[in-house]
Amino acid sequence: MEAFSIIYTMLGGLGIFFFGMKFMSDGLQAVAGDVIRKIINSITSNRFMAVGVGLLVTCIVQSSSVTTVMTVGFVNAGLMNLTQAIGVIFGANIGTTITGWIISVKVEKYGLLMVAMGFIPALFSKSNRWQNIGRALLGVGLIFIGLQTMSGAFVPLRSNQAFLDSIAYFSGDHYGSYIASIMMGCLLTMIVQSSSAMLGITMALASTGVIPYSTAICLVMGENIGTTITALLASVGANVNAKRAARAHACFNLFGVIVMLFFVKPYFELIDSLIPLDPRFVAPDGSRPYVSQHIALAHTLFNVSATLIFLPFVNQLANFVTRLTPDKSEKEVPHLLVLGDPGNMLPAASMAQAESELKKMKEIVARMYKLNREFWSADEYDPKMLAKIIDYERITDNIHKEITVFLCYVMKKPMSHHQSEQLQAMIRISDELESVADYIERLANYRDRFKGGETLSGESREEFFQFLDEIWNFFHLVAGGLMNGDELNMSRIEAKSHELQLWADSMREKHLDRISKGTYLPVTALTYSDMVVALRKIRAHSFLMAGAIANFHSKHE
């Protein structure tokens, strides 16, 4: 019965730990959603900036696996190149070490305190922000309680001779024992799919005296390798670059452990010298109260050292995984929907990904507009230009469909009220861009009516191109809020929209007057009216898009 009691207590503690990690992660993500999105959008080709992004995002979401899976997804979608991805992965490895420091705190002192501090705002606050802060605090408390429960479950094992005999080889002070412990840590992390959970178990085993200090550190090194399985699984079915990013993560952690093995004993001595408290000190109750801090430092020191060693060789690592994963013979096209159900991704990361796609969609609409003007101003009708405009419109339809489906799935994920409003605004922006593209195509098709001898000339032609350019300037003004994140002057946009509407009415009346004087054939009046209506619709959808962009960038909670 003792074995059964140990197992269910350990699993119960692990369950509370996982539940706490989820609560803390979801709370922090909801509170810092805008921060995460802006951090991700700040990624540049600078490797140090990429490391910083990975570090900050991982500190917020408390999971290097989430960050690396997100990175693989961005590479697969064509939003991040391989070198940038490797930098983010380096940063994620450093960021995940904060979890070790959190759980190295004396859990019996703060677990229930955190739960007490967290459940009141989580359940009773009317503020969405305070609810999420409460969830984060509640999650931290549950993490501590879960660790305390697991530690209690492991106490009988330190006097169980059968168990001690079974792990005797892993507890030895020689390289065979170190390598065996690393392999065991790797295997268990692959099974559990969480290096944070395995780190918690390792600390619980070490602090109760079940395993020695050196074994615990080697287990942590193995856990660093095992955690790469999550990104490798996420890359299954993805494109070549995404596979390279996942394999770069695995190679980096594996190479780091191999390098550290050559210096493992000086490594133990360095950690002991940095923290004066003896990790092997045994308290009267049989526990080792100082070992958790040493393990946390070992975890941090390993990941920081590995990053500093390999950061100058990012390009060489990229070349290595490129040779390891050669290009396919057929050309690959990046896709937005890259990881199955986007509900499994961070809402903020999903929003950053969709925002990038919206910017691409806007650029395609801009190219349509420019090509449409060239098409109308050309002396001769060019069917190839019309076909290109129609092809652009078909592309915007596909992007609109993907963004809408993607964001609808993301809405199933727990998020703040503000994030939910932003997602709805992004869907609206996508709708309006697609509608603008529809009317640009419709306007181009009207050019077909002038092939049979009908012409648009004189004042009507001049007014049309002048109005076309003004509508484009209005669209460009609105879209600047999407592309640059600038705050839109809605009063100015509303006034300009009203001015363009009155201008359109005036154009139609003037042209009808010319028709009545016999300047143009009646069929030209119908076409001209349709052209003006199409431009008015573009104005209307641009104005609606301005409201959606303003909502997306709003800072209210």
Give the pLDDT confidence score for residue 365 in this predicted structure: 92
418 and 360 in a single domain? The answer is yes
441 and 523 in a single domain? The answer is yes
Nearest to 12 by CA among 112, 107, 154, 121: 154
> DSSP character for 172?
S
Buried b (16+ CB within 10 A) or exposed e, 188-201: bbbebebbbbbbbb
168 and 221 in a single domain? The answer is yes
Q: Please say whether the beta carbons of 72 and 235 come within 8 A.
A: yes
- Number of domains present in the structure of the chain: 2
Rounded Cα distance, 91 and 304, in Å: 9
Q: Is 385 exposed, middle or buried (0-12, 13-18, 19+ CB in 10 A)?
A: middle
220 and 358 in a single domain? The answer is no
Q: Which domain does 91 fall in, by range?
A: 2-319
**Residue that is written with structure tokens 């394999």 in the block:** 247
Rounded Cα distance, 505 and 181, in Å: 79
Q: Is 404 exposed, middle or buried (0-12, 13-18, 19+ CB in 10 A)?
A: middle
Which is it for the CA torsion 198, 204, 210, 215, positive or negative? positive
Q: Please say whether the beta carbons of 141 and 110 come within 8 A.
A: yes
Please tell me whether residue 336 adopts helix, strand or coil conformation. Answer: coil
Residue 553 to residues 137, 326, 421, 422, 493, Cα–Cα distance (Å) = 28, 41, 10, 8, 16
Alpha-carbon torsion angle 356, 358, 359, 362, nearest 10? 160
515 and 382 in a single domain? The answer is yes
392 and 448 in a single domain? The answer is yes
160 and 259 in a single domain? The answer is yes
Per residue of the chain (557 residues), what is the pLDDT tens digit? 477 777 788 888 888 887 887 777 777 777 766 676 677 666 656 777 888 888 888 877 767 777 777 777 777 766 677 888 888 888 888 888 888 887 777 655 677 888 888 888 888 887 777 888 888 888 888 888 887 788 777 777 766 666 666 666 677 777 888 888 889 889 888 887 777 788 888 888 888 888 888 888 888 899 888 888 877 877 776 678 778 888 888 898 898 888 888 888 888 888 888 888 777 777 787 777 788 888 888 888 888 988 888 888 888 888 888 888 887 655 444 444 433 445 556 777 778 778 888 888 999 999 999 999 888 888 777 888 889 999 999 989 988 888 888 888 888 777 777 778 888 999 999 999 999 999 999 988 888 776 655 556 667 778 888 888 999 999 988 988 887 766 788 888 999 988 988 888 888 777 667 666 665 665 566 777 888 889 999 999 999 999 998 888 776 55
39 and 167 in a single domain? The answer is yes
378 and 476 in a single domain? The answer is yes
Give the pLDDT confidence score for residue 517 in this predicted structure: 63
Give the pLDDT confidence score for residue 553 in this predicted structure: 79
| Confidence (pTM) | 0.68
Structure tokens at 25: 């992660």
**Residue that is written with structure tokens 């890259």 in the block:** 338
- Longest CA pairwise span in the chain (Å): 109
Rounded Cα distance, 66 and 58, in Å: 8
- 335 falls within a domain: no
- 341 falls within a domain: no
309 and 365 in a single domain? The answer is no
241 and 117 in a single domain? The answer is yes
- 340 falls within a domain: no
Give the pLDDT confidence score for residue 409 in this predicted structure: 81
